[in-house]
Structures are given as structure tokens and as C-alpha cells.
Structure 1
Amino acid sequence: MASAPANALPLFYNELQPLSSQVHAKWRARTMESAEFFGKAHAVPLTIEEFIPAQRSYPIVFSAGPDPVPLGLFGLNEGVNVFTDALGTPTRDFYVPAYVRRYPFMLARLRPESEDLSLCFDGTSGILGEFDEGVELFDGAEPSEATKNTLAFCEQFEQSGIRTNMFVQELIQNKLLTDGEVTIEPDGGGQPFVYRGFQIVAEDRLKELRGDVLRKMTQSGLLPLIYAHLFSLSLIRDVFAMQMQQGKAPEQPAPAVPA
């Protein structure tokens, strides 16, 4: 979840460069004035440590396909984020995912055959460069305190990603994930809006689990995470209402023509 494959880049990243004391010795990190990359993100990966704070702000679902990833839904349609303006500036209080907060940095494998991870950054972000102002990235040949903190944050994120993958595998092994579907009737009538393309935990399957499996999930702390996800689903309609208020809802589908 956290590390990008060698031939693909994760959400938000356009390129990756390894941070180097030789190449970037005089570089600084400027304060991020805006986060336009986030302003059009309707779904952002989450780790399981974030389920509890995130479920108060927006729905948590799982991506479709054989390798599901937990996602925070910031909008119900591609390119829509109801929690920020177009520049990614928050327009209301909400929990900002660690995935967003680590940008433009991330840990990545520079060589597919190696298990070593290096601190890299997106060179197109405009945040890092040989600027007159900003936080220094290096103190001589050594990483600055700010860079050490960034590295520690990215390492924690990687570890959270591993634990999140284990959680998802537990859901898959117990056949708890199912295709999700939400139908929302617009005010004033008309064709309903139907949203698909994500997965959720099936409550009926959860209730049918054997007692020893449920006990194991409770003891490991997985069951509260499942319920945080389920509780958050009630916010889907709130996100839709915000889209309507902001004029970001898709055009209503045309009524079916009788044959």
C-alpha cells in the first residue's frame, strides 16, 4: 500500500527523486501554501490507525478489485473534494490523512531487487528547491533535524501500511468484503443517483462468524476498526449533500425511455 511499484507512481506523485546530500545539500523545504494535488482528490488511502479519527469526518470504504485498500471518501465523484477548495485549502474541519501529510516525500525502493527503502520526493511539487527561505534539508553532509523527522514519519507510515495490509487480508480470508452500492434519492424527485465501484464489510457475514474468530478479532483490536468503518458509511449521504450544496453533484441521469 505504501511503497510504489517500480513501474507505477502512487496517487499525487508525478515523479520520484532520491534525496541526496550531494545533489540537494543547499536545498530547502518551503511551507506549503496550497495543496492543489489534494483539492481534486475524491478518495485517499488510509491506514488502520486512522480509522477512529477519520470515521468522524468522512466515509471509509475499500477499493474494488483483488487487492483492496482502505479509502477515505472526500467526494462521491471523480475530481470532487467537498472538504477543500480547488487549491486544496480546507473549508471545514476534518482529519487530514497521513498519506496527504507526507507529500511530497515517500519511501521507495530504488532497485526492484533490493529490500532497502530510500527517502524520495516528488520533484514537481515546487516545495523543495535551492530557495533563499525555508527549512534546510541538510546540515552539512548530515540530514537536518527536519529531514530526520520526515524520515521517521515516512517510516511510521510504511509500518502502518504493513499492518493495514494484514487487516485487509484478515477481512478477505474471512470473506467479509462485498461490493458496495448506495442509492440516493434527490430532493424534489427525479432519477436516483447510484454509486458503486467500492467494497464494504458485509454486516450479515460479520454476524455469522464463529465465536472464536470474533474473539480473536476483538483481542487483536480488529473488530473496533470494522465497526468504525461501518459507522462511517452513514456519512456517504452527508458527503452527497455537501456536493449538492457546492454545485458539484453530477448531472442527473436522463429518465429511462420506455421501450
Structure 2
Amino acid sequence: MASQAPNMLPLLYQGLEPLNRNQHGNFKVRRQTGLDRVAGTHAIPVTVDEFSMVQRHFPIVFSSGENPVPIVLMGLHEGTNAFFDEKGIAIDPSIYVPAYLRRFPFLLARLREDTDELSLCFDPTSGAVGEFDEGEALFTGDEPSEATKAILQFCEQFEQAGQRTQAFMAELKQSELLMEGEVAIQPEGSDQPFIYRGFQMVDEEKFRNLRGDELRKLNQNGALPLIMAHMFSLSVIREIFGRQMRQGTGPASLRQPATADA
């Protein structure tokens, strides 16, 4: 999902540097309590492998444009996040953290556009990788450390999940099930509903009218439960609206003072 050449940086990444023993033989990776960059990010990419977990916490929608990808909404306005504080720490420790965030600052990337070979890279601006006194070593002598092997394995699993996600999106496009999304929320005390757009969603009417053989195909290739997870998750949009109102980041005309349980 994020395997791009370094000049096309994925969301949250501000730089990419391929990890190698000659340059980074003494580097360590240290655990960070939060990722401040996520605090102002309202949508995060997810893979189909995560849908069953994600639907409990976030609405799953699809980005706009010709090549949509699944994303979870963590805020209803750009620059807001109802689930992470300004330091990038989860407000609710039990919330599911998408794999996209958990693999940061690492990823597998194509270093040249003329090859499909992937290299393990990291964001040198993250503050998590460097010549620190504390942390886990990335190399043991001339070989990658156990920590690096675990990071590589996680990134490989993420890429494999990304391929399954691309196949699912191709199925949605082929079935012509995607439509421009719109959600209207009219809270008590408001004369007009608040309309949220800028994403895609499954067209429920088209989905209901699929022929039996089309539904059978979606069930056999695993797309049917993913579509259902997406549709069930949309109800969480109202919960995010409520979270933002309590946190003081909702629509200006309705903002309330933040409360301790926000």
C-alpha cells in the first residue's frame, strides 16, 4: 500500500532512508510513547486484514479518486483526530491502532521505479532511529539484529495485506459498487444537518440488488464479509461527531467545553 519510490512519500513520512549496515551499524530503535504527527491526521489507511477489528472502533470508508484505498476516519474535519491527543498518544489505551501506524517509522519501499525490489527503509526525521544510548540495536555485527528481523517481518506482512487489499478494491470497482459518500448528522439544537463528504462508500441500493451469482462470487472470494464490515462501521461516524463535540473540535456553532471523559 505504501511501497513507493522515496520521492513519493506516504502519509506521515517526512523522509525515507534505506537501512544498511555500513551507514547504520551503530543505530538503535527506541520505543516512543506517541506519534505526534497523527494528532492532526483525520484519516489513516487500513488493510482488509484489519476490517474485522477496525469496524468496532472507526468508520471504514474509501478515499476519493480513481484509485481509492480503504481508510479509517479518526476525525470528521481535516486537522482533527478524536482518538489521539496532541502528543499522538491514544486517549483510550484499549483502542485498536492500525498497522499503518504501528509499523512507523519503517516501511518497505521501491528505491527505483524500474524495479519491483523492496528495501527496508525508515524515516530519519522520526526521532525513533539513531545512535542512541538506549533502544534495541538494529545490527549485531554484520547481521541484522532480531529486532530488525521482526520489523522486516511485520513490514512484509503489511505488504502482503496490501496486495489483498488491492484485490478487494479491484473487485469493488469491477462490480461498480462504489459511490461518492455523504453522511448527514443533525444533532439536537441544530436547525440544519451537518453534511460530510469527500470519501467513497458502497452503494447500498446496488449492493441489495446484486444478482445471486454476483453475491456468490463476492462470498467465495472473501469480499462479502469485508463489504459488510464497511457498512456496519459507518454508524461509528456519529460517535466521532459526539467525541469531537466533547473535545471542542466539532462544528464551531455547536462546540461545547471539553469534559474529562472526552
- For residues 252 and 181 of structure 1, the distance between their equivalents in structure 2, rounded to whole angstroms, comes to 21
Specify the alignment match of 1:115 in structure 2.
116
- For residues 253 and 203 of structure 2, the distance between their equivalents in structure 1, rounded to whole angstroms, comes to 29
2:79 alignment partner AA: G
| Cα displacement (A) at 1:10 | 0.5
2:125 alignment partner AA: T
Specify the alignment match of 1:23 in structure 2.
23
Specify the alignment match of 2:45 in structure 1.
45
Specify the alignment match of 1:139 in structure 2.
140
Specify the alignment match of 2:150 in structure 1.
149
Do the aligned residues in 2 keep the contact of 1:80 with 1:248 (CA within 8 Å)? yes
Superposed counterparts of 1:1-259, under 5 Å: 1-92=1-92, 93-252=94-253
| Cα displacement (A) at 1:2 | 2.3
1:88 alignment partner AA: G
CA displacement 1:174-208 (0-9 Å, x = unmatched): 10000111111132123321110000001111122
Specify the alignment match of 1:257 in structure 2.
none
Do the aligned residues in 2 keep the contact of 1:104 with 1:122 (CA within 8 Å)? yes
| Cα displacement (A) at 1:4 | 2.2
Q: What SS does structure 2 have at the residue aligned with 1:26?
A: coil
Comparing 3-12 with 57-66, greater Cα deviation is found at 3-12
Do the aligned residues in 1 keep the contact of 2:44 with 2:72 (CA within 8 Å)? yes
How many residues align? The count is 253
- For residues 5 and 145 of structure 2, the distance between their equivalents in structure 1, rounded to whole angstroms, comes to 28
Q: What SS does structure 2 have at the residue aligned with 1:249?
A: coil
- For residues 129 and 166 of structure 2, the distance between their equivalents in structure 1, rounded to whole angstroms, comes to 31
| Cα displacement (A) at 1:240 | 0.4
Do the aligned residues in 1 keep the contact of 2:181 with 2:197 (CA within 8 Å)? yes
Do the aligned residues in 2 keep the contact of 1:27 with 1:128 (CA within 8 Å)? yes
| Cα displacement (A) at 1:39 | 1.7
Q: What SS does structure 1 have at the residue aligned with 2:191?
A: coil
Do the aligned residues in 2 keep the contact of 1:42 with 1:76 (CA within 8 Å)? yes
| Cα displacement (A) at 1:132 | 0.8
| Cα displacement (A) at 1:209 | 1.5
Do the aligned residues in 2 keep the contact of 1:193 with 1:252 (CA within 8 Å)? no
- For residues 4 and 108 of structure 1, the distance between their equivalents in structure 2, rounded to whole angstroms, comes to 5
Do the aligned residues in 2 keep the contact of 1:13 with 1:104 (CA within 8 Å)? yes
1:81 alignment partner AA: N
CA displacement 1:117-161 (0-9 Å, x = unmatched): 000000000111111110000001100001001001101111111
- For residues 33 and 53 of structure 2, the distance between their equivalents in structure 1, rounded to whole angstroms, comes to 25
TM-score by length of 2: 0.94
- For residues 2 and 159 of structure 2, the distance between their equivalents in structure 1, rounded to whole angstroms, comes to 6
Q: What SS does structure 1 have at the residue aligned with 2:199?
A: strand
- For residues 54 and 196 of structure 2, the distance between their equivalents in structure 1, rounded to whole angstroms, comes to 21
| Cα displacement (A) at 1:33 | 2.3
CA pair 132-6 structure 1, distance change in 2 beyond 3 A: closer
- For residues 58 and 145 of structure 2, the distance between their equivalents in structure 1, rounded to whole angstroms, comes to 36
Give the gaps of 5 or more residues in structure 1.
254-259
TM-score by length of 1: 0.95
Aligned-residue RMSD, C-alpha? 1.2
| Cα displacement (A) at 1:228 | 0.3
- For residues 63 and 144 of structure 1, the distance between their equivalents in structure 2, rounded to whole angstroms, comes to 37
Q: What SS does structure 2 have at the residue aligned with 1:15?
A: coil
1:182 alignment partner AA: V
- For residues 33 and 54 of structure 1, the distance between their equivalents in structure 2, rounded to whole angstroms, comes to 22
